[in-house]
A and B are shown apart, each in its own frame.
Chain A
Amino acid sequence: MSQTEIYDLIIVGGGPGGLTAGIYARRAALKTGLVEKGLPGGQVNITEGVENYPGLESISGFDLSQKFLQHAKSYGLEFIQQEVAAVEPGLDFHTVRLANGDLLNSHAVILATGGSPRKLNVPGEMEYYGRGVSYCATCDGFFFREKTVVVVGGGDTALEEALYLAKIARRVFLVHRRDAFRGSRILQQRVTAEPLIEVLWNTVVTGILANDEGVRGVVLKDTESGSSQELGADGVFIFIGFLPNNQLVPQGIKMDADGYVITDEKCETNLPGIYAVGDLRQKYAKQIITAAADGCTAALAAALSVEMKKAEKMTSKFL
């Protein structure tokens, strides 16, 4: 496409939010491009199993991502495999600058850049990331067959990954800083029923111990007594939530103190024509289905606003 042509909608990010936006936008006949630097699906890809997406009792994250992608492509969504360098708001149209220098001009932009795993920020974590410290159990789990691993966290992801690792490892210690899990009840019950998982309540990891061979253990601190002790382990898997990928959010767009983009109920930011969906947006539940719902909302809102904008232009021509 020539650079003078203007898209109706550019979607930045190809997770569930972005791909759902693509489906709705194409059904509304918007000229739509979706830019994604990695594999479509985003974080869902590294989820071993998804069991809470209605209509699909159990499906792998990778398969679900592929289904989203095929669905969007069946409506003719233009998939642009590129990294975005910047999103530049404009008065007449917005510009999405790609890492290869190409410029995409568009009436509306949906930011669907998702989140990245939050780090513990303890000594040893970054040094041994890839040598025993991991944020992806499906990627690295098999290295720890018949070994001892520590899982850190208490939400859905931590519980799911602890259960996954219990199928591979000899022993799983689940370290949680509170005295109760945040994750869903059904996962809590499964964790409790799993004899290979031992839960260490009111405990935080304050350091990761390692030698030349890689991770050898962790330093644990009891949050009630304040006492510390060492625990031997071959791997440490960290699932303590996500941080929003807000690096591409243009200046002037309102975010909360944690870096999530603030939108109205149409998922529109304070800059007209720029929307934020999924894990990037400030909201209560961060789930595949709520990301998809955001994508739907933003695409419908964008379709209406682009239509109105074009109608206005047509009218002004005749005035």
Chain B
Amino acid sequence: MALDVTKETFGAEVESSPGMVLVDFWGPACVPCLALMPYVEELAGKYETRLKVVKVDASKNRRLCIDLKVMGLPTFLLYRDGREVGRLSGKEVNQEELGKFVEGHL
């Protein structure tokens, strides 16, 4: 299960987390985000110990998003040992793109 992360828990769950973390920025009115959600959960199950998957509701954590320069949805950030190593946004992000993005960094 992808863990829900907020501006309060982002530091602990992502920036201080060892290993790889995938952060899914989504919003309740972002239909492409909702469409991808089941696949994000699938990734969480697939990579289990190799990848931690968390999600941020951007509509409730706007400040955090702006600090991270996330200004459009869906956006996916990938962290390794607390450092951002990859960013997927700005195209029509689909399952295939997301799968390749994650696979390419593991």
Q: Residues on A close to B: CB < 8 A?
A: 37-39, 41, 45-46, 48, 62, 83, 99, 116, 126, 128-134, 136, 138-140, 142-143, 145, 212-215, 235
Contacts and interface: CB of A to CB of B under 8 A. Distances in A.
A214 B87 CA distance: 14
B90 A38 contact: no
B71 A143 contact: yes
Given A38-B35, A41-B31, A145 B71 contact: no
24 contacts: A37-B94, A37-B95, A38-B94, A39-B32, A45-B31, A62-B29, A83-B94, A83-B95, A99-B96, A126-B90, A128-B90, A130-B71, A131-B71, A132-B71, A134-B72, A136-B30, A139-B30, A139-B33, A140-B30, A142-B27, A143-B65, A143-B66, A143-B72, A215-B71
A128 to B, nearest CB: 8
Interface residues of B, number: 25
Residue in A48, A126, A139 whose Cβ sees the most chain B Cβ within 10 Å: A139
B43 to A, nearest CB: 16
B92 interface: yes
A139 B27 contact: yes
Given A38-B32, A38-B94, A45-B31, A139 B71 contact: no
Contacts of B95: 37, 83
B89 A130 contact: yes
Contacts of A62: 29, 31
B64 to A, nearest CB: 12
Nearest to A48: B29
Chain B CB count within 10 A is highest, among A212, A214, A215, for: A214
A77 B62 CA distance: 40
Given A131-B90, A142-B27, A215-B71, 8 more contacts: A37-B94, A38-B94, A130-B75, A131-B89, A133-B72, A136-B32, A212-B69, A235-B71
B3 interface: no
A37 B93 CA distance: 12
A147 B18 CA distance: 36
Nearest to A142: B59
A129 B90 contact: yes
B59 to A, nearest CB: 5
A133 B73 CA distance: 11
Nearest to B31: A45
A130 B76 CA distance: 11
Contacts of A48: 29
A39 B27 contact: no
A99 B35 CA distance: 17
Contacts of A134: 72
Given A132-B72, A214-B71, A139 B89 contact: no
Given A130-B90, A213-B69, A46 B31 contact: yes
Contacts of B35: 38-39
The winner among A41, A116, A129, A131 for most chain B CB atoms within 10 A is: A131
B34 A140 contact: no
A258 to B, nearest CB: 20
Interface string B35-46: 100000000000
A126 B30 CA distance: 20
Contacts of B66: 143
B91 interface: yes
